[in-house]
Amino acid sequence: MTTRSAIRLCAWLPALVLATVASSTPALAALGGDVSSVQKDRARFKASLQLSPTAHYSVHELRAPTGTLIREYVTGNGRVFGVTWQGPWRPDLRQLLGPYFADFQQAANAKRTGRNGPLSSRSSRLVIEMSGHPRAFQGRAYVPELVPAEVAEDEIQ
């Protein structure tokens, strides 16, 4: 019934990265940006960071004190190709989606029935899904053209 990927989470090799807060300079985008932007997100969200490498990408997991969990999926050559979030409240999506924030806004505005249901939008530039209600939100976004060929889209979770 479900389309599950061959590469499973249990294959991950978790490793804790002892990172320092990079800077307090204006943050750059995460999605579509290079791996250094993860550090900017970490600073913005005041989050702890855990890094999980896999064969074709690494997952940078940011846990904010608000209880919101953010995952950023980074290619072997350092591009952020997908982000997910779940928690009681949404993170700053302008920060997390960067140049794709406008694509999100456009997708949300295109919904037939306005604001009254989840967002499920797929374009060649951005796939974005958002669901939930106050105190339990979740979502994911990825850039199809940046997803490595070996990676199933369902792995972005």
Partner 1 sequence: MTSPRERRVLTAVLSIIAVAGCGGSDGANAGNNGIAPPDGANVVPIVVDSGPRGANGAPVGYVNGAFVTITVCIPGTANCQAIDHVLVDTGSSGLRLLANDGRAGGELSLQLPPLQDVGKNAVAECFQFVDGFTWGQVQLADVRVGGEMASGIAIQVIGEAAYPVPGQCLGVGNDEDTLEGASGLLANGILGVGLFVQDCGPACATDPAVAGSGNPGLYFACSSSASGGCVETSLPTAAQVSNPVSRFATDDNGVIVELPPVLAAGAATASGSLVFGIGTRSNNGLGNAVVIPVDDRGTFTTLFPGQGTRYPVSFIDSGSNGIYFLSSAVTGIPTCTGGSGIDSFYCPPSPLTLSAANQGAAGTPTVPVTFSIANAKALFDSNGAAFSNLGGQSVGSSSAHLPAAFDWGLPFFFGRNVFTAIEGAATPGGAGPYVAY
111 binds partner 1 per the rule CB under 8 A: yes
Binder of partner 1 out of 54, 58, 75, 95 (CB under 8 A): 95
Among 18, 24, 25, 135, which residue sits at the site for partner 1 (rule: CB under 8 A)?
A: 135
Residue from 137, 144, 146, 148 touching partner 1 (CB under 8 A): that is: 137
Q: How far is the CB of 57 from partner 1 (least distance, A)?
A: 14
Tell which one of 23, 117, 145, 150 touches partner 1 (CB under 8 A).
117
Tell me: does residue 74 bind partner 1 (CB under 8 A): no
Q: What is the DSSP letter of 137?
A: E
* DSSP codes of every residue in 61-119: EEE-TTS-EEEEEEETTSBEEEEEEEESS---HHHHHGGGHHHHHHHHHT-TTTTSS-E
Sign of the torsion angle spanned by Cα atoms 106, 136, 153, 120 = negative
Taking the CA atoms of 32, 100, 130 and 39 in sequence, report the sign of the dihedral they define.
positive
Binding site for partner 1 (CB under 8 A): 1-4, 9, 46, 65-68, 71, 84, 86, 88-95, 101, 104-105, 108-121, 129-140, 154, 156-157
